[in-house]
Chain A
Amino acid sequence: LKGFQPDPTATKAPTDLAARRTYNELRRRIVTGQLAQGDIVNEVAMAAELKVSRTPMREVFRELLSEGLLVGDGPRRQVRVRSVSPDLLDEMFDVRLALEPLAAQAATTNASAEDVDALRLITARLADATKSRETPRFLDVDEEYHVALAHIARATVTEDFLRRLRALTRLALVTSSPSARLMLRTHDSRSDLTVAVAEADASAATAAVVNYLELARTWIRSHRNT
């Protein structure tokens, strides 16, 4: 709407931008429960509803399938929103508990001053979301922290795994929205981790990550309403 217009011919959003926006919208519907776990999601119908062509919608489906938020199954290869079973949840946290301490330890070694500042900024925004008790905002910012930490670790394969696992955690939280107390404790463990990375304290970083993951697992297990 506003902003510069150095090239007035560029009025149509490029396909990748359309795909990005569609991805954001569809992912938002999944992680907020607007599309429930197990719901069938039809590519053609969704393209019509979101007013995009099939090409970007195909890209979006591919990305969400890769993240594990959608699954293709059944005799007619229907695409559904993934259901997070108790077994899957346990497996997911086991893998995160194996991987994330490694990422946190690597971050304490690799983080530059700019990396530490990036974690500080996200931690401060997490505090704001906690204070205002805005759950979706809190979860979005916490997800940013997760991605930033994996990136700072400079471990490409781990980062890739963690991105995918984070999406599944977000899905698990659809049916167990965090309380104000959990948000506060989560923020505190993130804050501890930021300090540990800043001080290059690998053991404190590990402890903070484990604390964070155990908090999340316990919460989701005890508050699942399906």
Chain B
Amino acid sequence: MNGVGTMAQAQRRDLAPIPDGARQRAVRMRDGTLLATDVYLPPGQGPFRTLISRLPYDKDGTEFFMPDIARYWVAAGYAVVVQDVRGKARSAGEFQPLTQDVDDGYDTIDWVIAQDWALDRVAMIGDSAAGLSQWAAAASKHPALVAISPRCCGFERFDVMYDGGVFALDSSVYWAAETAIDEYLYDYPGPFDWDIRPVRDVVTQAVGNPRPKWIDEWATLESAHQPSLPDIRPELACLHLCGMFDFVASSQADAWNLASASGRGDHYLVLDAVDHSWAPLTRAGRTRGAEGMRAFLDRYNQPIREFLDAVFERNTAALPRVRWRPYADAEWRTETTWPPAASTEATYWALVGPGRAPALKTQAPDSTTVVSWTHDPESPVPSKSIPFHHLTLPPDFVDLPGRSDVATFVAEPLTAPLTLVGQATAECTLRSSSESTHLFARLFDVDPGGSWFEIAFGRRAARGPWPRDVTVRLSPLGYEVARGHRLAVVMSSSLFPRFALDQGTDGNSWHEWSPRPAIQEVAIGGPGGLRLKVRVWCDEREG
């Protein structure tokens, strides 16, 4: 048992004081509910370009540094409005997480444009839940909302939770335990005890009774979920900001794919080498302390500022449609499409043979066989990383090849650097001894020293009759694999606690626990043989 014995670990966070420079107002929604709303104004009379952010994390707290972010924008001449969503922190009303933001977004915009310091055109900023609240406000079709810049999110919550049909367990649990108990935020001094079964009791032990009711609903969603673009105004400008190491990156890629192909809205994409918390993958290391905070705010806000300046100046013609970079301290690479037009598809085939280690080759195998493993729900493959902070302390998966419940395929060391772009897929014919199962595919960069760094992942729920063809779509890539490094693909049937456990029966492991081991078989060679399809960037500057 981790943590503090039988005592609930949840510790209520104090509401942060209203920061210097902010004026808190009570903004009335259409049903009379008052929402706590900070206003930050630049010097002068205005009217100013105004940015709105609506979030459930305490508008004045340090979790998302909204006071610091507001100060950045005020220095750039923008007014900033930051609001606690309904039922959170200082806002009144009942909190129904991530579901009330269409009307509240509309009414907040209405209030903002009625102020004498605001222009009649506004934009929105914010990450994660504050990104979802932007899509919700966009769905309200308020005519004064001219631009949104959602970061680290899909269109709505189930896009992230049920990508591939497999419930994103630890991220949803952590989110609910921190955010969805009541109007306050909660901290946890110790780790959650993920050995407890059924899994719902992990939350009960950490939070105490009652569990946030939302997490039960989320964990047991019955129907399959497919993302869909909200009904937005055709002229709305949208900057999609995606961290390639973010656990929601696949959902954000879906959002980009659907939105940019829809003809509704004017869409731009930024793909950066960061995780959900915007921690970077860099070549030069990270600057820490106060200087690090300044560097962070510049790096974090700069693409949005270019976008918003252009939108407010009605001059978006020069904006690059797509920007990406393999390191967060590299120059941006601009494209007109994603994946870049200057890229080609490559296929790596999984290969096994007598007396040889499983391999990954660019030539298809000339014989067929199967590779199999036993999925034991009582001893799942550990996911190791904290979903929100993949790059803060990146785990080393060096122990993966030794596990008997995964299938690992490693390519030869690269003789030249290779830059992977777009979304890779792992495709195969699958057979399971269970009626249904999960299939996880992960792509690794294995360095010459033997460290395994996860660069992309994907998941897919599958159900018989077997055999059947399964495609697992991996998270977006813009990653440079160095010379001498090797690519590796790892297939498994669990990745816990990152994702819900399939227990080899139809029962949901959230509420009940009756585990049954299952044999999984993946075809090698032939038309259904396991293969990784990737896109390789061709740097036109190098010819």
Contacts and interface: CB of A to CB of B under 8 A. Distances in A.
Interface of A: 1-9, 20-21, 24-25, 28, 50-51, 113-114, 117-118, 120-122, 124-125, 127-128, 137
10 contacts: A1-B177, A3-B57, A4-B277, A6-B293, A50-B4, A51-B189, A117-B26, A118-B26, A120-B26, A137-B182
A20 to B, nearest CB: 6
Interface of B: prevailing SS: loop
Given A114-B24, A120-B34, A121-B91, A5 B392 contact: yes
A109 B435 CA distance: 72
Given A2-B388, A5-B389, A7-B292, A127 B24 contact: no
B207 to A, nearest CB: 13
B138 to A, nearest CB: 23
B392 A3 contact: no
Nearest to A22: B11
A153 B23 CA distance: 18
A114 B395 CA distance: 47
Interface in B4-60: 4, 11-12, 14, 23-26, 33-34, 36, 57
Contacts of B87: 128
Contacts of A3: 57, 62-64, 277, 388
B456 interface: no
B14 A121 contact: no
B11 A21 contact: yes
Given A121-B36, A124-B34, A4 B65 contact: yes
Given A2-B276, A8-B279, A9-B288, A121 B92 contact: yes
Given A2-B63, A114-B24, A124 B11 contact: no
Interface in B425-460: none
A137 B183 CA distance: 9
B174 interface: yes
Contact of A6 (B23, B178, B183, B296): B296
Contacts of B63: 2-4
B165 interface: no
Given A4-B64, A118-B24, A125 B392 contact: no
A24 B10 CA distance: 12
A128 B96 CA distance: 14
Nearest to B4: A51
Given A24-B11, A127-B92, A128-B93, A117 B25 contact: yes
B278 interface: yes
Interface residues of B, number: 47
Contacts of A125: 90, 92, 183
Contacts of A113: 25
Contacts of A5: 277-279, 389, 392
Given A114-B24, A117-B24, A117-B26, 9 more contacts: A1-B175, A2-B276, A2-B388, A6-B278, A117-B25, A120-B34, A121-B34, A122-B90, A125-B183
A7 B25 contact: no
A124 B26 CA distance: 10
B187 interface: yes
B468 interface: no
Nearest to A113: B25
Contacts of A128: 87, 92-94
Contacts of B389: 5
A51 B2 CA distance: 13
Nearest to B275: A5
Nearest to A112: B23
A8 B286 contact: yes
B188 interface: yes
B153 to A, nearest CB: 12
B128 interface: yes
Contact of A8 (B94, B174, B393): B393
A122 B188 CA distance: 27
A112 B384 CA distance: 51
A121 B292 contact: no
B289 interface: yes
A24 B277 contact: no
A2 B36 contact: no
Contact of B292 (A6, A24, A114, A120): A6
B386 interface: yes
A43 B279 CA distance: 39
Interface string B172-187: 0011011000110001
A2 B186 CA distance: 11
A1 B178 contact: yes
A121 B26 contact: yes
Contact of B388 (A1, A9, A120): A1
Contacts of A50: 4
B75 to A, nearest CB: 18
Interface in B284-333: 286, 288-289, 292-293, 296
Contacts of A4: 63-65, 277-278, 296
Contacts of B276: 2
B18 to A, nearest CB: 8
Contact of A2 (B25, B93, B277): B277
A85 to B, nearest CB: 30
Interface in B237-293: 276-279, 286, 288-289, 292-293
A114 B20 CA distance: 13
A189 B233 CA distance: 46
A3 B90 CA distance: 19
Nearest to B27: A117
A137 B64 CA distance: 25
A122 B23 CA distance: 16
A124 B91 CA distance: 8
Contacts of B93: 124, 128
Interface in B388-405: 388-389, 392-393
A114 B23 contact: yes
Nearest to B286: A8
A100 to B, nearest CB: 23
A118 B24 CA distance: 7
Nearest to A1: B174
Q: Considering residues B57, B92, B388, B393, which has the most beta carbons from chain A within 10 angstroms of its beta carbon?
A: B92
B90 A121 contact: yes
